[in-house]
Structures are given as structure tokens and as C-alpha cells.
Amino acid sequence: MATALLVCARPAIADTLEPPQDPAVVAAEVEAFLLTQAQSWPGAATVTVTPPRIGRQPACEHLDTFLSNPQLRSRMNVGVRCLAPQPWTLYVQAAVGIQGQYYVANRTINVGEALSLDDLTARDGDLLRLAPGVVVDPSLVVGHIAQQRIAAGSTVRSSSLRDPDSIVRGQPVRTEARGMGFVATGEGVALESGAPGTMIQVRTGSGQVVTGTVVNNTTVRVLM
């Protein structure tokens, strides 16, 4: 009699268990999420997701996908959390590739030379496997000045260039002080390098050190 009752009770217990989360649904969420993140890159993206191992995570009605580090990389761990009905979080491995064009120098570019479109040659490759700052949009750097020697055939990196309107540490600059109802100009020497819009320090002719905003390659605006 006891055995019969136990057998009868098993289906009732099983009916109370919630079905587990489908790993294919999680993988599809991660793939769609990473493809959306890759849309800002100038290339064709591919994403391969390793289906997660589902343990005690019950089926979720509202999945939320997130990154601890927003920068895309070739190998990534993507977070997936369930917001309802029962919270849980897991991490999913994915491989990402973006096939596109990057640029190399077709001649040796010496320090102080301005970069032109004729100095660049396009190459095809996985953009995520390149070093940080490699130029993928030449329109953003044409006219910039080389601050390091760039060998022929090497990739062109934004850190090797400076904006033509930037100020270089040690150069003479014009200071422009603005206050309520007046403008005063002076001369000084830049103590830091900076592109337009950045804050740098300047030593004035009187020896005072002031902080101002780079306007162009000759002028620093100091707010009074």
C-alpha cells in the first residue's frame, strides 16, 4: 500500500518542477546582442556563441544581456540575467569577428609630416585582432601630423598622429582670458600637449601657471 502511494505521488512532485531555461534561446539572445553592438564598426560581423550549460535556471520570461566591458573583443564573456519570474545570472562565451578595411602607410612618414590619403593603402582583415587605435576610417586622420616615425608597410595608429589644430608642449601660445565684459590677451608657453577642446596648463610671461582650453594650434582660452 505504501509503495502504491509513493508511485502515485511522483507525478504530482514532477508537475511542480519548473522547466529549465532553453540554452538555444540564451545563445540566440547573446548573438543578437553582439551583432547589434558590432553595428558601429565599419565591417561585416560574425558571432559564434557557445551554448551555455543550464543547471537549475528555470525558464525565463524576461532576459537581459549585458557586458562588463563594453569594448568588443575576439573572445568575450557575455552576461545574461533573468529579470522574471525568478532572477538568475549566467555568463556565455562567444567569438566575434569583424571583417573590414584598415590602413597601412605606403611610404615612410617622418615626424612632422601631414598625412594625406595618398600615403595610405587599404588592407582587409579582422578589425578586432588589430592593435588598439589602428586607423579604419581615413577621413578622421587625413591632415593630421605624424608625431612618431611611421615605417612603410606598418599600420597607422591614431596615437602616432596629432590633430593639426593641437598644441605641443613647449611651444609658444597666445592666451585669451575672458571675463564678464572683457577679453585680455597675452603670451605664454604650453606646459602640456593637447587637442582642441582639451584643458592644458600654460606658463604666462609673468611666470604664472594658468589652465585653459585649447582653441586651435596657437590659442588657449582661459576663463576668469
Judge if the upstream peptide bond of residue 87 is cis by omega within 30 degrees of 0: no
Which pLDDT tens digit goes with each residue over 45-96?
A: 999 999 999 988 999 999 999 998 889 999 999 999 999 999 999 999 999 9
Measured distance CA(138)–CA(142) in Å, rounded? 6
Residue 18 has a pLDDT of: 77
Average pLDDT, the chain: 89
At position 118, the amino acid (one-letter code) is: D
Q: Which CATH number fits domain 172-223: 1.10.340.30, 3.40.50.970, 3.40.50.1000, 2.30.30.760?
A: 2.30.30.760
Q: What is the CATH number of domain 99-162?
A: 3.90.1210.10
Sequence-ordered strand ranges (E) for 62-208? 62-66, 75-84, 88-105, 120-126, 145-146, 161-162, 172-179, 182-190, 199-204
Checking if the pLDDT of 1 tops 60, the result is: no
Are 114 and 164 within 8 A, CB to CB? yes
Measured distance CA(159)–CA(57) in Å, rounded? 46
pTM comes to 0.71
Q: What is the mean pLDDT of residues 138-143?
A: 91
The C-alpha cell at 32 is 543578437
Checking if the pLDDT of 8 tops 60, the result is: no
Which pLDDT tens digit goes with each residue over 151-189?
A: 999 999 999 999 998 998 999 999 998 777 788 889 999
C-alpha distances in angstroms, 10 versus 14, 55, 178?
Answer: 6, 21, 83
Domain ranges of the chain: 17-98, 99-162, 172-223
Checking if the pLDDT of 102 tops 90, the result is: yes
Residue 88 has a pLDDT of: 96
